[in-house]
Structure 1
Amino acid sequence: MDEDENYMLHALEIAQLGKWKVMPNPLVGCVIVKDDEIIAKGWHDHIGGLHAEQMAIADAEDKGISLQGATAYITLEPCNHFGRTPPCTEALLWAGIKKVVIGALDPNPTVRGGGIKMLREENFEVKSGILEKECQEQMQSFMHWCKNRRPLVTLKAATDINGRIDGDRDKPAKRFSSDSSLKLVHELRAESMAILVGVNTVIRDNPELTVRGPDIGPRELPIRVVIDPNNKIPTNCKLMEDGISKTILIQSMYFNSEKDQEHVERVTISDNNEIEILKILDMLGDRGIQSLLVEGGKDTWIRFLKSGLVDKAQLCISNLELDGESGEKFDSSYLIENGLEVSKSFDIENDKITIWAKKIK
């Protein structure tokens, strides 16, 4: 690994400090180097906060360090437009930095290359493509949405040791995965802008679909999405009553919404009773949703897998056995048959976790 890659790796590491808090913005890190030493660093810490370059410049100013002639290593091409903050290209110019090393180009086709163009026009030395793959992977959902205009889809499933996802239907639902696995679920939720379930999961479990544990900062909680073609959702369930986060009901025809609370929205996608998965993702993408976590149940998992639009999956297999003999089953064959392969596996408490990703063709 050469010098540029070492500094970019450091920028990638500090970008992680904004994890869960910056969506819909991507994670971005910046280190500023002078005389072969890192003299300042910054990252995009939370939505509405300073960009990584601006934080690094402020860090140097707080230390009383001059940035004249320094080099900035940034994981994403600096912005060249006004948003919540001024353009980062201007901040770099005013700071006296003379060289900028970039990991990934901005994926948005309307601005891609604009930051580099402006920097070169101002006589900066610019180098790009350093650890580009690693930088793109760190901001995968942002990159995916900019390219496809629909969310990156992650499927989350859990089974007992026999592959059963539920016990006898005439008994209350029972959680069988460990506390550590539950912590991973909430981290997955924190990485997502929306969480989706089928209406039968709502009827059976009455979930809240909230984030508990991870600090997501001032950003909004994930939107709860329910596929409910025929309006079966109980009006007194938590998703309809709690007002904690927005709830979207995806339905196949118009249903009266006069009694719904303000946080509930009904979206009609006319497609008989089998609402096409791509239409759901396009609708969410149009709303700026970059990442979607599909939590269940089995029918919903299989429909998403058969659509070919699942990008990642997390499967938790407990070493416990559910009571009874009935109950639906789910196993890794569904993932394999629909184009996913294991990228990582590990044990946690009594559970085996496998991480799956779409095969690269």
Structure 2
Amino acid sequence: MRPHVVAQLAVSLDGVTSGFDVDLARFYALASLWQEDVTLIDAGTILAQENAVLAAPRRGPRAEGPLLAVVDERARVRSWDSLRELGYWSGVLALYADQTPERPPDATTRELITGYDQIDLVEVLDVLGDRGVQTVRVDTSGVLLRSCLALGLIDELALLVHPLLIGGDRWYDTGHLDLRHAGTEVFKDGVIWMRYCVTSAR
């Protein structure tokens, strides 16, 4: 059975995901309420933080933490050991396609290979479900999340809406989604946490 897939992102009032400060402690405290079994993220997000990951203390895998699964079609991520040891996740899983470049011969990171030249996200979720995964949280506001939405793979969406107008491209046209309101919380600084069930794509 395919797992329940959730996504949370911070946006401005006009639907932009960058150009403003986000309270990361609050963001991840709210995200932790889903208690995901797997955190799904793309290689670009990892690479953007790679220097910080490599410099961070290595606290060791967190046995009760989720598995970190990284969509890495071009095998660009090299910091697997550091990611595994950060203390957030129980382990790491590299998601590759058949045509992903060969990895170093001494690579020890677990792999899941789906699709030919692109990773098959539907199959990824099916395999994870077969392995007992119940909840997956998509931890990005970029291409990976938009791909999951376009494929109808997101079951629950949470927006941490900040009281700012930034200008620029909106993260996604939610008019293409069939959303059912599931809850709203307003914080003292004017940030609103809005949760929706995604029932289907229109």
State the TM-score bracket (shorter-chain normalisation): 0.7 to 0.9
Counterpart position of 2:115: 270
Counterpart position of 2:198: 358
TM-score, normalising length: structure 2: 0.77
Q: Which runs of 4+ in 1 moved over 6 A?
A: none
Matching residue's letter, 1:180: R
Answer 1 or 2: which has greater helix percent: 1
| Alpha-carbon distance in 1 for matches of 2:16, 2:106 | 37
Matching residue's letter, 2:139: E
Deviations 1:245-297 (A, max 9, x none): 21111111363254445xx3122113312x22211101211221111001113
Q: Give 1:175 deviation, angstroms.
A: 4.6
In structure 2, do the counterparts of structure 1 residues 175 and 227 end up closer, same or farther at CA, with 3 Å as the change threshold?
Answer: farther
In structure 2, do the counterparts of structure 1 residues 202 and 279 end up closer, same or farther at CA, with 3 Å as the change threshold?
Answer: same
Counterpart position of 1:199: 43
Secondary structure, in 3 states, of the residue corresponding to 1:339? strand
Contact kept, 8 Å, 2:5 with 2:153, in 1: the verdict is yes
| Alpha-carbon distance in 2 for matches of 1:302, 1:152 | 17
Contact kept, 8 Å, 1:155 with 1:310, in 2: the verdict is yes
Counterpart position of 2:182: 343
In structure 2, do the counterparts of structure 1 residues 257 and 247 end up closer, same or farther at CA, with 3 Å as the change threshold?
Answer: farther
Secondary structure, in 3 states, of the residue corresponding to 1:296? coil
Mapped pair 1:155 → 2:7: yes
In structure 2, do the counterparts of structure 1 residues 259 and 165 end up closer, same or farther at CA, with 3 Å as the change threshold?
Answer: farther
Q: Give 1:241 deviation, angstroms.
A: 5.5
Deviations 1:3-33 (A, max 9, x none): xxxxxxxxxxxxxxxxxxxxxxxxxxxxxxx
Paired residues, number: 188
Matching residue's letter, 1:155: A
Secondary structure, in 3 states, of the residue corresponding to 2:186? strand
Counterpart position of 1:319: 163
Instruction: For structure 2, list consecutive stretches of 5 or more residues without a partner in the other structure.
Output: 54-61
Secondary structure, in 3 states, of the residue corresponding to 1:278? helix
1:1-361 equivalences in 2 (<5 Å): 149-167=1-19, 175-177=21-23, 179-188=25-34, 191-206=35-50, 220-235=64-79, 238-239=82-83, 242=86, 244-253=89-98, 255-261=102-108, 264-273=109-118, 275-320=119-164, 329-330=170-171, 333-334=173-174, 336-350=175-189, 351-359=191-199
Contact kept, 8 Å, 1:229 with 1:251, in 2: the verdict is yes
Secondary structure, in 3 states, of the residue corresponding to 2:26? helix
Secondary structure, in 3 states, of the residue corresponding to 1:343? strand
Instruction: For structure 1, list consecutive stretches of 5 or more residues without a partner in the other structure.
Output: 1-148, 168-173, 209-217
Percent of paired sites with the same residue: 18
The structure with the larger Rg is: 1
Higher RCO (CA < 8 A, seq sep 6+): 2
Answer 1 or 2: which has greater strand percent: 2
Secondary structure, in 3 states, of the residue corresponding to 1:345? strand
TM-score, normalising length: structure 1: 0.46
| Alpha-carbon distance in 1 for matches of 2:95, 2:27 | 29
| Alpha-carbon distance in 2 for matches of 1:180, 1:241 | 23
Deviations 1:322-352 (A, max 9, x none): 7xx77x6325x42x41332322222123311
Contact kept, 8 Å, 1:177 with 1:316, in 2: the verdict is no
Bigger mean CA deviation after superposition, 154-163 or 277-286: 154-163
| Alpha-carbon distance in 2 for matches of 1:294, 1:338 | 17
